[in-house]
Amino acid sequence: MDFDTELKVAVGWNRGNMEFVGIWPEPSRTHERLPNFKALLYLSIIIVFGVGPQSANLFFIWGDLELVTENLSTANIPGINAMIKLIFALYYKESFKPIVKSFYDDWHNVKTEEERAAMLKMAKPAKFISIWCSVLTITMVTAYLSLRAVTVYLADRVNEKQDRLSLYPGYFPFDIRPAPILITINFAQVVAGYSATICYTTVDTFIAMLIMHMCGQFAILRKKLLRLMGNEKESKSIDEFQKQLALIVIKHEQLNGLATKIEECFSMLLLLQILLCTVEICFQSFLFLNVLLKNGNGIFNFQLVFFVLFVCFILIHIYLYCYVGEMLLIQGKEMSDCAYESNWYNISPPEARCLLFIMNRSTRPLCLTAGKFGTFSMEMFSSILKTAMGYLSVLLTVASSD
């Protein structure tokens, strides 16, 4: 494969999705007026036709636990989450341009087939994640909109409550029952729904893509270090050995800096996502059980399919962060182990002391954190599920007492 083909594999659907909503940090682009305008336009649509009316509607349905949980979990909290991600991605777009440029440079400067294979080993799963997360997102939104479209079509527009006539139930300060207004509102909500889900998914897969690429670079560095300390070292001069080792140390420090930059930019966003997703899992599980119990004939209906898709959608995105966070922890630590397990005893003490730069830097773990409070790992994933189920138990108790 040529450079462009390999880069497309590495980027996956991330660039297309982020260009669509105007948040792709293209390093070569100097004028961001059109992309920023697109991002602000979609943000306005999400607020005006999605989050805004749904949040206002909470004042009118407050007290009805089922309607409140449906409002919050189905569209309001996911919409707020997507809106926050769009704002963060837009705000840190310039900060991410050097990271994307480094990403491009790594692919452009690949020298051996071994390096290419190591990078593709991480690029192909990243592409798979970006594609299937996007497909799952579109499927989930389409399922919900189809269900709501049928419900709205069959509803009596004269006697039905006005907020239930829109695809995403919300309050509008004017009469939306006339057909032209109702069609316009629902069309705008379709645009808002798909825009929000693209923002929701593509920021997650973008971060996963960058971290998996860095993990591939760590694997290449380890192989270079082992090769440098191997038997062929005898044929190298001291100056050549130190030069190659210096290049490894510089690249290692560069990767550490890029990982730290990602963590600094999105640490607060990840904290908000954990909190919102925990509440979403709780509410969606409550609605699933509520629909299941009301279904007296035990028929597995379309609404249950949507709830299953929605919960899978949320869990996959949380698991994605925990998975790449675990990978980053392991790869950072393995650099130190690699330096220790290499043939350092075959070289002179002054040369061996150079390895301390790598080992000392690896003592500070690279990680993704949620607001500096918790580190993303498989342990955190299980903790999130336990917390959500605890909230669900409380919510079921409150509902049964009412």
pLDDT by position in tens, the chain (length 402) = 556 677 787 887 888 899 999 999 998 888 888 999 999 999 999 999 989 999 898 888 887 887 888 888 877 888 899 999 999 999 999 999 999 999 988 888 877 888 888 888 888 888 899 998 888 888 888 888 888 888 888 888 878 888 888 888 888 888 888 888 989 999 999 999 999 999 999 999 999 999 999 988 988 888 888 887 775 445 566 777 778 888 888 888 888 888 889 988 888 999 998 998 888 888 888 888 877 766 544 445 666 777 787 888 888 989 999 999 999 888 878 877 787 777 777 777 777 777 777 777 767 778 888 888 888 888 899 999 899 888 888 888 887 776
Q: Which pLDDT does position 247 carry in this prediction? A: 85
For 103-142, b/e burial (b = at least 16 CB within 10 A) is: bbebbeebeeeebbebbbebbeebbebbeebbebbeebbb
Question: Which amino acid belongs to residue 284?
Answer: Q
* Residue 65, pLDDT score: 80
Residue 223's Cβ-count burial label (10 Å; 0-12, 13-18, 19+) is middle
**SS3 of residue 112 by DSSP:** coil
Q: Please, what's the largest Cα pairwise distance for the chain?
A: 88
User: β-pairing, 374-375 with 369-370?
Assistant: antiparallel
Assign 394 to helix, strand or coil.
helix
pLDDT of residue 36: 92
Tokens 């997507």 locate to 82
Torsion of CA 43, 51, 74, 183, to 10 degrees: -90
Q: Cα–Cα distance between 336 and 329 in angstroms, integer?
A: 12
pLDDT on residue 233:
46
Give CA–CA dist 138/142, Å, rounded.
6
Cα separation, 336 vs 222, in Å, equals 9
Mark residue 178 as left, alpha or beta (left: phi above 0; alpha: psi -120 to 50; beta: remaining): beta
Locus of tokens 């949507």 = 306
Using only C-alpha atoms, what is the Rg of the chain?
25
Q: How far apart are CA 352 and CA 111, in angstroms?
A: 27
Sequence-distant contacts of 297-303: CB under 8 A, at least 24 apart? 302/143, 302/147, 303/147
The pLDDT score that the predictor gives to residue 116 is 86
**pLDDT value of residue 229:** 76
